[in-house]
A and B are shown apart, each in its own frame.
Chain A
Amino acid sequence: MKNITLPLTEKLIENLHVGDEVLLTGKIYTARDQAHARLQKAIKSGKGLPLDLKGQIIYYCGPTNTPKGKVIGSCGPTTSSRMDAFTEDLLKIGLIGMIGKGIRSQQVLKAIKRYKAIYFLTYAGCGALLSKYVKTKKIAAYPDLGPEAIYRLEVIDFPLIVGIDSKGNDIFKQKGF
């Protein structure tokens, strides 16, 4: 088990290997389908992004609404492969890590290797449990998207498994997928 406090430096990433278990502390951003489509459109049109993604981690997550008295609702990962088509463009502008569930495409795997980035898995279908590791939640962009908006989450000891490391080693390829 490795304890990592953000920001993720090149050296930290280099020392993380496929299959490693990590407890992550720091600030991450949620984004899923529609937010990715908007970010990519903004990049391609040359307009500025609503947030700086350089050196940041995106968590593929659309939380439930937040119950009274709680920081966040249920907040587990969504299927990462739906974000595959957008990922390279985000890595190109400096995104350094992603958290989600499931397999990534060959294109994403190559891009992760090229940009020395990292892909983490977290417990899939465990949104209630994962909510306990989130300390703050703030809207960061696209509030009109509701659960699909970009939120900034402050997490403490958020449990992760390295799915694809910066050398391009893929946990699912090792399992025969």
Chain B
Amino acid sequence: MKETNMRYIKAEQIKKIVAGLCYEANVILRPDILGQLKLAFKKEHSSRAKKILKAIIDNAKTALHEKLAICQDTGMPVVFVQLGQDVHVSGGNLTKAINDGVGIGYKRNYLRNSIIKDPITRGKPGFSPAVIHYEIVPGQKIKITLLPKGFGCENKAQVKMFKPTTNIKVIKEFVVDAVKQAGPDACPPFVVGIGIGGTQDYACLLAKKALLRKIDKQSMFEKELLKEINKLGIGPMGLGGKVTCLGVNIETYPTHIAGLPVAVNISCHAMRSASAVL
């Protein structure tokens, strides 16, 4: 039996890459998001909506120039790892390397220590750990993506188990209603991630993953939902406008004959993520 070539990647290198992603994700707004914000500015007619969008765009510029976090809520760091099956991580523990990288990256860049060790007893906040999702994929590379998820919007996430015979109209209503409930609190205009299929927990993961995809290329279904959501008129900061949502991304997965899980994960306009491939 011929052995495949194993590639060795040092844990130390992964730590450094993750630390760098903390800066990139939190300080440099994704070009697709900034692009849609600029389009939204053109679409809005009311002076208030325009003024708020201008502040949001100016904020992204200030963050970049001053090396400041785009938002003070630098989130719960969520890390997606696509680990090539022919990679061997050497010289340390992979999960520890990622969490150490997050700790270093957040501290070094003066981001916020928002993570408390115990959800019940709370205590003094620190910089890590991250929530890490691993996926084993073919190949010899590792792709690491960091998504700092602010909790103003994370608190508005929803999931529902529909019947398999549910009309698609009802699914759309559920999504639109979830956005309506997020309302002014979650920093509109939003990016809406939707996960359909799998199991209850997997639909939630799909919805979060959907946020990672660029929002400038959308399917017909996504465009339809975007139109419906924007009819809500919530607008920037919830003070009214044409643009309640910058983009809708849907991820699907096979599911069981007895069910139809649907999850909605909402992101504020400061939709941040950064990736690196080793």
Contacts and interface: CB of A to CB of B under 8 A. Distances in A.
Interface of A: 34, 61-67, 70, 73-76, 78-81, 101-103, 121, 123-129, 131-132, 144-148, 159, 161, 171-172, 175-177
Contacts of B184: 101-103, 172, 177
Contact of A62 (B66, B67, B72, B268): B72
A74 to B, nearest CB: 4
The 10 closest A-B pairs by CB, nearest first: A102-B185, A128-B63, A126-B59, A127-B72, A129-B59, A74-B69, A65-B110, A128-B68, A74-B72, A64-B112
B183 A102 contact: yes
Given A128-B63, A146-B125, A103 B183 contact: yes
Given A64-B74, A64-B112, A129-B62, A123 B55 contact: yes
A22 B154 CA distance: 30
A34 B269 CA distance: 26
Nearest to B107: A65
Nearest to B67: A67
A66 to B, nearest CB: 6
Given A79-B152, A124-B187, A128-B62, A74 B124 contact: no
Given A64-B69, A123-B52, A146 B113 contact: yes
A136 B153 CA distance: 29
A123 B73 contact: no
A147 B122 CA distance: 14
Contact of B59 (A62, A102, A127, A171): A127
Given A78-B152, A124-B237, A127-B72, A73 B110 contact: yes
A169 B124 CA distance: 38
Given A101-B184, A102-B238, A123-B55, A79 B155 contact: yes
